């Protein structure tokens, strides 16, 4: 595992990093699983909500796109922050989808440039990183390393995912639960952002952030420009990806825990990649059997949002902060399991971040 464990902030030790604030931007329009399945070209008899636990997802409309969702999330992050945009030294955009208008996929100039200029942070170093559904976790991994090396004090990771069109395209071709486009029916749109900064001396923060790539599984999920509608079409061997993740992730989880000096049962909340409720529960059971214990709670956030790709961990973290679910001192694990196969583990201790997010109405 390529990883960075945080120091304790003492003199001569590498500084720790922490999450200083989060932001969220979700489209107002919603599409239920029932409505999506009613739009399929073929009579599938697939009970999508029962199969996945996804009741609905938010979808873009009215000129919304990847960039606008990312900008909205970054602005919300700043509204919850003690800092201004002028304090951001580095901004990393992690979207898979890079749509700006009418599914125009923009690579250069990068989205990070547009985002930093829109939020008023022209001084920030910027670049884009795409790492499938592990994108934002990868951005945090990178910022954690920059901060621990003392190269910067503060940065923002942001992503806007406009991916619901994959589901619209899949609905035109899916016939059975064995379809390789079935996973596309779980997708929703969202923007998320997180400010990462050097933690005050002695304060809790990120205990470890590590990643491993198992490239032999890279062809289990592939996407191409769509031939039947705007955007793309995605083909996923869902069972193959889940089997690979269940087989290999426990080794990486154990390594991260050992480097953090923790036991699996000492994790208060696990936030895995949000694919489907059934898949998350199956993986939780398998990990518990392999590791001999389990976190106190595993957060499942798919009912309202579905799978929002690179933003899923921070959508779940934000909403549960708003709901008052976390307390100071809680140990939280973000577990990224993404096409590639990417396995990422971020363990952090909740601090006074909870005080800046009120209970949701």
Contact 300, 330 (CB under 8 A): no
Q: How confident is the model at residue 106 (pLDDT cuts 50, 70, 90)?
A: confident
State CA 305 to chain mean position distance: 12
Rounded CA-CA distance 41/175 in Å is 8
Q: Which pairing describes strands 56-58 and 30-32: parallel, antiparallel, or unpaired?
A: antiparallel
Which tokens belong to 118?
């829109």
Which tokens belong to 206?
């990120």
State CA 343 to chain mean position distance: 12
Catalogue all structural domains in the chain, each as residue range(s) with its CATH number: 7-198 (3.40.47.10), 206-354 (3.40.47.10)
Which tokens belong to 260?
């953090």
Strands (E), the chain: 2-5, 17-25, 30-32, 56-58, 90-93, 125-128, 154-161, 190-198, 206-213, 221-225, 232-236, 269-272, 297-298, 331-338, 342-349
* pLDDT per residue as tens digits for the range 26-68: 999 999 999 999 999 999 999 999 999 999 999 999 889 999 9
- The pLDDT assigned to 360 comes to 58
* pLDDT per residue as tens digits for the range 323-332: 999 999 999 9
* pLDDT per residue as tens digits for the range 67-96: 999 999 999 999 999 999 999 999 999 999
| Bridge partners for 5 per DSSP | 208
């Amino acid at each position: 595992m390529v990883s960075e464990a945080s120091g304790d902030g003492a003199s001569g030790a590498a500084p720790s990093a922490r999450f200083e604030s989060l932001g969220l931007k979700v489209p107002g329009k919603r599409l239920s699983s029932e409505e999506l399945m009613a739009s399929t070209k073929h009579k599938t008899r697939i009970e999508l909500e029962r199969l996945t636990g996804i009741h609905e997802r938010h979808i873009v409309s009215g000129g919304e796109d990847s960039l606008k969702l990312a900008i909205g999330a970054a602005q919300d992050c700043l509204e919850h922050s003690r800092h201004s945009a002028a304090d951001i030294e580095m901004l990393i955009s992690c979207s898979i989808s890079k749509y700006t208008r009418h599914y125009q996929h923009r690579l250069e100039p990068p989205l990070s440039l547009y985002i930093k200029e829109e939020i008023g942070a022209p001084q920030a170093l910027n670049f884009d990183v795409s790492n499938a559904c592990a994108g934002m976790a990868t951005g945090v991994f990178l910022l954690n390393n920059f901060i621990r090396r003392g190269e910067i004090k503060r940065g923002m990771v942001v992503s806007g995912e406009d991916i619901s069109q994959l589901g619209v395209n899949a609905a035109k071709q899916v016939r059975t639960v064995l379809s390789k486009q079935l996973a596309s029916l779980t997708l929703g749109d969202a923007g998320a952002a997180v400010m990462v900064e050097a933690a005050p001396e002695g304060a809790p923060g990120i205990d470890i952030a590590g990643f491993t790539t198992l490239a032999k599984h890279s062809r289990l999920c592939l996407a191409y420009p769509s031939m039947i509608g705007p955007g793309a079409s995605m083909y996923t061997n869902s069972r193959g990806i889940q089997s690979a993740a269940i087989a290999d992730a426990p080794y990486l989880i154990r390594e991260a825990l050992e480097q953090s000096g923790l036991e699996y049962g000492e994790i208060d909340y696990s936030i895995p990649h949000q694919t489907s409720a059934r898949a998350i529960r199956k993986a939780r059971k398998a990990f518990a059997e392999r590791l001999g214990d389990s976190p106190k709670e595993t957060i499942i956030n798919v009912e309202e949002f579905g799978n929002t790709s690179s933003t899923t961990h921070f959508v779940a973290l934000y909403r549960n902060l708003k709901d008052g679910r976390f307390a100071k001192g809680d140990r939280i694990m973000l577990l990224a399991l993404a096409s590639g196969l990417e396995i990422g583990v971020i363990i952090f201790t909740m601090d006074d971040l909870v005080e800046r997010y009120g209970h949701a109405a």
